[in-house]
Amino acid sequence: MVVVITGASAGVGRATAQAFANAGACLGLIARGKDRLNSVVREAEASGVTAMGVSADVADAGAIEAAAEEIERNLGPIDVWVNNAMTTVYAPFAEINPDEYRRATEVTYLGCVHGTMSALKRMEPRNKGSIVQVGSALAYRAIPLQAPYCGAKFAIRGFTDALRCELAHKRSRVHLTMVQMPALNTPQFDWGRNKLSRLPQPVPPIFQPEVAARAIVFAAGARRREVWVGRSTIAAILVNKLAPGLLDDYLARAGYREQLSARVARSDRDDNLFEPVRGPYGAHGRFDARATEFCPALTASIFKPYLVATGAALFVRYLTRNRRRARREAQKRLS
């Protein structure tokens, strides 16, 4: 199996590369920073699989198409494509300039579109393959101070839904799925462009990127429309469907405070909006002490068919026992 992952040099992408390597997949890894990309390749190869890195900016459709060609030429037909690359700006909307907003959108949203185009170009003629869009609870419930990221994730969800219908119309066997993530402990809070007075932080509960990686690997092989990861994601999506106005009011009051850490932001801090950030960033961010790899909601989602079957069997057993009991009691009354 050949798996392509964009944004593979750190965070969720890096954790996902290791998860697929552990599963024995050959990896085509795409990111801008060559040094970190090479280190991910070495990690994957240490697990005994073949891996190659291609330095490319997902905002450049031509570069992504060239990367796909190079990966197939060296590794063979692509079976799974994971669109994960992202960048963002942490700031009130009024403080974001047009170039910053455009760049965040080009990477996070159009990068997903470009990756999907290159994947479909190869998968549709073979009538097989899986494309995984890395989404977020914020694709359903937007929050303040993250307008570029929320807008991009909403756009990915709309694009994915439209394309899914087109694939169904053509009776294509290419599978398209979106994994909606919770708050994750990744370096994005250290290298995203920040215009706030303090460093941003994920809103608890916080999960380790390995949780996201497990969900992506599962989604690549399961024919699920979407996978919702974590109780917080499930709650945000469902409550927003029922009472969006109440969430608006809550986030207007608490959404700022919960996203600001106690650490004062440096004005000269590098960010990865236009260029990769140097440094030994890995899969994890700075929230290890507050993050968990335990995610019962994901486990329940993975084993949902078995849980449903077990529940149905127990329910049938309950009805059968009640029916037998009622029959015995009726016979006693008659006798």
- pLDDT tens digit at each of 335 positions of the chain: 999 999 999 999 999 999 999 999 999 999 999 999 999 999 999 999 999 999 999 999 999 999 999 999 999 999 999 999 999 999 999 999 999 999 999 999 999 999 999 999 999 999 999 999 999 999 999 999 999 999 999 999 999 999 999 999 999 999 999 999 999 999 999 999 999 999 999 999 999 999 999 999 999 999 999 999 999 999 999 999 999 999 999 999 999 999 999 999 988 889 999 999 988 899 999 999 999 999 988 888 786 654 445 444 555 565 566 666 667 666 766 66
Shared-domain flag, residues 31 and 74: yes
For residues 132 and 82, the answer to whether their CB atoms sit within 8 Å is yes
The CATH number of whichever domain residue 288 belongs to comes to 3.40.50.720
* Res 311: pLDDT: 45
CB atoms within 10 A of CB 57: 20
CA distances 76 to 16, 63, 73, Å, are 20, 19, 6
The pLDDT score that the predictor gives to residue 299 is 83
Residue 204 sits in the same domain as residue 332: no
Residues 233 and 323 in one domain: no
Please give the model's pTM, rounded to 2 decimal places: 0.90
* Pair (290, 314) in one structural domain: no
Predicted pLDDT at 300: 81
pLDDT, residue 316, reads: 52
Cα–Cα distance, 69 to 177 (Å, whole number) = 23
168 and 224 assigned to the same domain: yes
Does 237 lie in the same domain as 109?
yes
Q: What's the token pair of residue 316? A: 């049938």
**What is residue 297's predicted lDDT score, i.e. its pLDDT?**
84
166 shares a domain with 122: yes
Contact 209, 189 (CB under 8 A): no
In this predicted structure, what is the pLDDT of residue 280? 87
Instruction: Say yes or no: 166 and 135 in one domain.
Output: yes
Are 153 and 170 contained in the same domain?
Answer: yes
Backbone angles phi, psi at 184, to 5 degrees: -125, 150
The residue with tokens 């030429």 is 73
Q: Residues 262, 333: one domain?
A: no
Pairing of strands 226-228, 193-194: unpaired
Give me the domain span that covers residue 55.
2-302
CA 50 – CA 214 distance, rounded (Å): 20
pLDDT at position 211, please? 97
Is residue 149 domain-shared with residue 236, that is, in the same domain?
yes
What does DSSP assign to residue 201?
-
Are residue 218 and residue 78 in the same domain, yes or no?
yes
| Number of domains making up the chain | 2
